[in-house]
């Protein structure tokens, strides 16, 4: 069995953490100066590992194996949320780097090719999953031209200032790149609750993002009687329990929905809100259920508009993401590796979060594996995973990676 170097793995992870370290967490927004510095460092580490490494025209760091034969791509992302944890995405990239080195150092596996990727902007500072979307051949030129971050910086200008505009972009190589593996922290509490160390992902959930805008009438909060108010804020608040009840009737144990933001206009204590809007997201692994939820929401809006003096408008914020099933053969490789390395310590489970793997699955077989998140916390400075689980997960991933590639070599012999 190929063996990883735990000390080297953890050292690289901690060095990457130093780029943007903020207390126990990391602030490393995509294409910020500290993110660009970390990408230069990562490209250097890939080069030291014998890979042909470069930062491409959208900011993805891609390390291409110099070896012939079928290649396994291993990766994730190294950009963070505004208040991010140190392992979200970053762990999977450093796993890829360590697995490429470990395979090269083992006589029986040194012929196996591993490409390593740190996809740009998975977290959506400018445009979510940008690097993987570019890799699979999606035309992202319009996105690059139009996308801005919260500070109003244009993506095109940031790429130009960084010297990346016009560089070649990493692209899928049909026939050579045969599969994709994305290791990741769970970002939830299932593994910890079950007392397990490894999650073999079955499906990445789909999601819908919508906005509901309630329009009433602004008026004086002191002189307008309750009976004649057209209070958009109160209408929004009253709508949410109806929506919760309707969704609960459709949901199963893995269905989730979140009102992540509410805006009131004008937002003054002395003014009855004339407009209010809420931003809603719901996720599920079943495409039919997602559609049923959207249909039920639309019906609720129609019913509300038919009986109320306040109007509601439902609009889609972004293109729907459909659920993506992970490749069963690759998932079985992960399961066998987990059983070999950590007998009885693994389960199959869905991913409730979006990942680059769901994009990469458009062009080649893809799989994911999880290690536990302490307390189920992610997207927060206190996100963490026990070092023993980090090391164990990398050993499982390395064992599976070798088996996946050896199977590909056997098919071609």
Residue 64, strand partner residues: 52
Beta carbons of 62 and 117 less than 8 angstroms apart: yes
Residue 77 counted as an annotated binding residue: yes
Can you spell out the DSSP letters for 227-244? GG---HHHHHHHHHHHHH
- Give the torsion sign (CA, 330, 332, 338, 341): negative
Beta carbons of 187 and 205 less than 8 angstroms apart: no
Query: What is the C-alpha to C-alpha distance for residues 140 and 156, in angstroms, rounded to an integer?
Result: 11
Q: Which residues contact 244 (CB under 8 A, 6 or more apart)?
A: 257
Residue 379 counted as an annotated binding residue: yes
Residue 172: CB atoms within 10 A of its CB come to: 16
Beta carbons of 62 and 170 less than 8 angstroms apart: yes
Beta carbons of 381 and 83 less than 8 angstroms apart: yes
Residue 231 counted as an annotated binding residue: no
Query: What is the C-alpha to C-alpha distance for residues 391 and 385, in angstroms, rounded to an integer?
Result: 10
Residue 7 counted as an annotated binding residue: no
Q: Which residues contact 41 (CB under 8 A, 6 or more apart)?
A: 15, 16, 19
- List, as residue ranges, the binding site: 77, 88, 123, 184, 379
- List, as residue ranges, the binding site for Zn(2+): 77, 88, 123, 184, 379
């Amino acid at each position: 069995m190929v063996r990883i170097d735990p000390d080297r793995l953890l050292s690289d992870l901690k060095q990457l953490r130093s780029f943007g370290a903020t207390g126990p967490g990391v602030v490393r927004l995509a294409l910020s100066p500290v993110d660009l510095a970390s990408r230069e460092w990562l490209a250097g580490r890939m080069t030291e590992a014998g890979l042909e490494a470069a930062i491409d025209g959208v900011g993805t760091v891609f390390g291409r194996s110099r070896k012939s034969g079928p290649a396994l791509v291993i990766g994730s992302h190294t950009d963070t949320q505004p208040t991010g944890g140190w392992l979200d995405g970053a762990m999977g990239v450093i796993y890829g780097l360590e697995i490429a080195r470990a395979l090269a150092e083992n006589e029986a596996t040194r012929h196996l090719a591993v490409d390593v990727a740190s996809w740009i902007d998975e977290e959506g500072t400018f445009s979510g999953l940008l690097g993987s979307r570019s890799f699979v051949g999606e035309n992202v030129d319009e996105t690059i031209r139009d996308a801005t971050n919260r500070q109003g910086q244009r993506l095109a200008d940031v790429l130009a200032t960084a010297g990346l505009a016009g560089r070649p972009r990493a692209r899928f190589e049909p026939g050579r790149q045969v599969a994709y593996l994305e290791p990741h922290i769970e970002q939830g509490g299932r593994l910890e609750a079950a007392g397990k160390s490894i999650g073999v992902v079955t499906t990445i959930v789909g999601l819908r993002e919508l906005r509901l805008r309630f329009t009433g009438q602004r008026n004086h909060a002191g002189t307008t009687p309750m009976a004649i108010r057209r209070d958009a804020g109160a209408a929004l608040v009253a709508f949410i329990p109806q929506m919760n009840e309707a969704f609960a009737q459709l949901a199963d144990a893995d269905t989730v929905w979140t009102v992540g933001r509410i805006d009131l206009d004008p937002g003054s204590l002395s003014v009855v809100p004339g407009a209010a809007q809420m931003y809603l997201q719901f996720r599920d692994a079943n495409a039919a259920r997602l559609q049923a939820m959207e249909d039920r929401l639309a019906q609720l809006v129609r019913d509300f508009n038919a009986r109320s003096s306040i109007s509601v408008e439902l609009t889609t914020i972004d293109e729907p993401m459909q659920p993506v099933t992970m490749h069963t053969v690759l998932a079985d490789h992960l399961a066998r590796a987990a059983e070999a390395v950590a007998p009885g310590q693994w389960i199959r489970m869905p991913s409730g979060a979006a990942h680059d793997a769901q994009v990469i699955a458009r062009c080649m077989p893809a799989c994911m594996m999880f290690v536990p998140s302490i307390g189920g916390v992610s997207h927060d400075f206190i996100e963490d995973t026990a070092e023993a689980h980090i090391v164990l997960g990398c050993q499982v991933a390395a064992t599976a990676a070798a088996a996946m590639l050896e199977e590909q070599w056997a098919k071609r012999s």
